[in-house]
Chains A and B, each alone.
Chain A
Amino acid sequence: MQRFSAFHPLASFLYFVSALCVTMFSRNIVIAALSLAGAMLFYAVLGLRGGIWLYFIIFILTALSNPLFSHNGVTVLFFLNGNQITLEAVIYGVYLGMMIMAVLMWFSCYNDVITSDKFLCLFGSVMPKAALIISMALRLVPSFISEGKEMLEIHSALLPSGKSAIKRIKRYAAVFSCLITRSLEGAAERSDSMRARGYGKGKRVSYSRFRFKASDAIMIAVSLLWIVFMFFFGGAMEFNYYPEADPLKFNAAYIIAAAYFILPSLINLWGELKWRYLASRI
């Protein structure tokens, strides 16, 4: 199955970076709308669910608050408590809301696609030491939490007398300091285990399991071309909100932008279709 997440981390990372940059810096309402549509589609295709309501609330809050606080613009819609509410401010509010929501949703998708291994692969070659530390932290944090839960459970059972808030806080503090002692104790053994496996001898390399394929090169080229394109032709797409909003005009660049933003969803959906077809012939 062709999947967007199967690309080399560098390719998917570059895609997200370019999509986010264009969304944040273009200031064009059509681009923001296209980016939001692309992000929502990809969000759905990835099967993500959580947080969608929060994003809508953020969108509504931003879209409403701009006209309430900004009174620029020439087209007055009505007066509220003696303040003018203008069409331009409403449009700008909607643009801001869409932009912020799109950025948040791209980030959710990023989190799903760029797993911790991929992140480490990206930064391991640049900063091998930092990458190892991140990997160790990712191992230690879950064990620290589960150990803390267990110790709290043990100690709340041991001292049934401590019902008052101060006693409880004291106990939490004692358990926490004990956890730190335990993890330091573990660190000594872990450093033994690292030295026993030659850590600190000679130059360390950072291994990642990801292979670089021709399709990754194509994906990277597409992202780079898109950034260059936006850099040179972005000016033509400039959109003014104040004092009067520009009329919406068709621009060929919008088609390219739309194609770019739905590219990951298309790749996944195409993979799905191909899989169904192949599966039907097995």
Chain B
Amino acid sequence: MEILGVKNLKFAYPNEKKQALNGIDLSVEEGEILLVCGSSGSGKTTLLRLLKKELAPCGELQGEITLFGNAEKKADVFDIGFVMQNPHSQIVTDKVWHELAFALENMGLDKNTIRLRTGEMASFLGISSWFEKKTSELSGGQLQILNLASVMAMQPRILLLDEPVSQLDPIAAREFLNAVMRLNREMGTTVIMTEHRLEDAFVLADRVAVMQDGMIKCVGAPREVSERIIAEADEEMFASLPAAARIFSMTGGKGKCPLNVREGRAYLKERFSDRAGAKLNSKENEKTGDKLIRLKDLRFRYLKNSEDIIKDLSLDIYSGDNLCILGANGVGKSTLLKLICSRIKPYMGSVKHKKGLSFALLPQQAEMVFLKDSLIEDLKLTCLENGLGKEDAENKIDGLKQIFRLEGLLDRHPYDLSGGETQRAALAKLMICRPDVMLLDEPTKGIDPAGKRELAALVENMRYDGMTVVTVTHDIEYAASYSSRCAMLFNGEIISSGEPRSFFGGNSFYTTAANRISRGLFDNAISCGDVAKLCGF
């Protein structure tokens, strides 16, 4: 049965000529999970918001939205749940139990019903152990599960998720998607979700809709859609496909397109078993420069009575490095960055810098580096404070504008930029101080594949200029594709480090999807390109 139908929907934001949505036709069956994907700015969020009338943006709307098979009856606010991108900004109250009860209080339910529903929801989604905690003490992943639970407590028939896992680390993201899948399978809730990280989301979707320029390009089962994307050589979308599908396409596969590691392995075994044992040599050590920073046996804790967050950590950083430090959430990655640039001091061990070394740190929330109301003002101020004259400042900003592609963004408020744009602008600002070492804290959070490629190019550019870059991240694919050296932080110490190929080739779980697909057949293949190369393409 059709639960939601959209007919020839057109929408334009006020004062904008371009149609944000340009003739959308969509039909959603009751109980299915529909994944809406597409590059940034393709109208995913606009479409989703229009489906929930309390959040519908202002603008010119044409076309028809039919809910629950009845165009006349307006949907009740409690029939449609909506979870947004940022886990922090959706939380309203100070206690977990109160947040769960928030929607139910608005419904005006009696005390015992609220008690029952919050209890049910908490035990279904595994919140019981932190039910009485303060919301300010929770991690991003927990907050997003809480947002989901608080919406589901209303018992909506349709659940709309707007890039719900883009701000989460991979493990928390998988947990969230599992919770969504359970709600769908066990409660029959219809789910419409947008996402650009498709590796995990593809597996749970019943159907996928690809959007481009405010239109739906194609709709179908995940396998059909991946085959279409491959056939049309759509570069933008191709980069978001699961690794198995990318390998399939790069090796000129025919027939059924594999979507997960298991299918990918089967495909490779079947077609390329004659090439088994092929291996890539690890990249000959790139010219290692002189030692810039030497960390020796560091120990650090935030409070006298807390536990050590960094334990006997030793690490050397060489000039010209593009070092990626990997690790799960909460292992002390951000702390390590602050130790490296001596913003905090260890209570044991030593941090030695080469003389006169300067640092810049890009924080996780990149927009925090801005203070002024427009980007240009902010950049100018930074130039002046760094002792540049008026003319020098303008030349400098012109140069940065070219490199960091800031045309058209300079007059905007820094908070109005998209994730990738904010990051480029913040990097430009940090570059004004001309640091020797650039430290990046989780730069790939909430960035789509195109943005990551761009970031990697900028980092390469900086290294070319003689800078050293240290990145902490949980994004394995990014580290494998772009770093010159990787180190893994676990339980407060560096447990392994090396050049990416030997680093990931040696791990069996903590490694890229391409490596897991080709393990046992090929050695040291860590990206889809590597696998394709070993297959002879």
Given contacts A143-B136, A202-B106, A205-B105, contact A189 B90 (CB under 8 A): yes
Cβ–Cβ contact A201 & B77, under 8 A: yes
- Docked pose: A2 CA to B370 CA in angstroms: 54
Given contacts A158-B369, A197-B151, contact A189 B89 (CB under 8 A): yes
Is A65 an interface residue when CB atoms closer than 8 A count as contact?
A: no
Q: Find A162's partner among B115, B147, B385, B415 (CB 8 Å cutoff).
A: B385
Cβ–Cβ contact B371 & A155, under 8 A: yes
Given contacts A136-B92, A157-B343, A196-B54, contact A174 B371 (CB under 8 A): yes
Which residue from chain A places its CB closest to the CB of B147 in the assembled complex?
Answer: A193
Cβ–Cβ contact B368 & A154, under 8 A: yes
Which residue from chain A places its CB closest to the CB of B338 in the assembled complex?
Answer: A153
Per DSSP, are chain A's interface residues mostly helix, strand or loop, or mixed? helix
Cβ–Cβ contact B371 & A178, under 8 A: yes
Contact flags A113-125 to B (C-beta < 8 A → 1, else 0) = 0001100100000
With a CB–CB cut-off of 8 A, which chain B residues contact A150?
363, 368
- Docked pose: A189 CA to B93 CA in angstroms: 14
With a CB–CB cut-off of 8 A, which chain B residues contact A206?
105
Cβ–Cβ contact A154 & B361, under 8 A: yes
With a CB–CB cut-off of 8 A, which chain A residues contact B147?
193
Q: Which chain A residues in 111-164 approach chain B with CB under 8 Å?
A: 116-117, 120, 132, 135-136, 138-139, 142-143, 147, 150-151, 153-155, 157-159, 161-162
**Total number of A-B contacts with CB less than 8 angstroms?**
129
Cβ–Cβ contact B136 & A142, under 8 A: yes
Q: Find A178's partner among B105, B107, B370 (CB 8 Å cutoff).
A: B370
Q: Which chain A residues in 39-65 approach chain B with CB under 8 Å?
A: none
Is A190 an interface residue when CB atoms closer than 8 A count as contact?
A: yes
Given contacts A139-B135, A206-B105, A207-B104, contact A192 B84 (CB under 8 A): yes
Given contacts A136-B92, A190-B90, contact A185 B415 (CB under 8 A): yes
Q: How many residues of A are counted as interface, with CB atoms below 8 angstroms from the partner's CB atoms?
A: 48
With a CB–CB cut-off of 8 A, which chain B residues contact A151?
368
Chain B interface bracket (under 10, 10 to 19, 20 to 34, 35 or more): 35 or more
- Docked pose: A205 CA to B115 CA in angstroms: 13
Is B101 an interface residue when CB atoms closer than 8 A count as contact?
A: yes
Is B379 an interface residue when CB atoms closer than 8 A count as contact?
A: no
Which residue from chain A places its CB closest to the CB of B111 in the assembled complex?
Answer: A207
Is B489 an interface residue when CB atoms closer than 8 A count as contact?
A: no
Distance of B76 from chain A, by nearest CB (Å): 9
Interface residues in chain B, defined as those with a beta carbon under 8 Å from any beta carbon in chain A: 52, 54-55, 77-78, 81-82, 84, 86, 88-95, 97-98, 101-111, 114-115, 134-136, 147, 150-151, 154, 341, 343, 359-361, 363, 368-371, 382, 385-387, 415, 430, 433
Interface residues in chain A, defined as those with a beta carbon under 8 Å from any beta carbon in chain B: 116-117, 120, 132, 135-136, 138-139, 142-143, 147, 150-151, 153-155, 157-159, 161-162, 174-175, 178, 181-182, 185-186, 189-190, 192-209
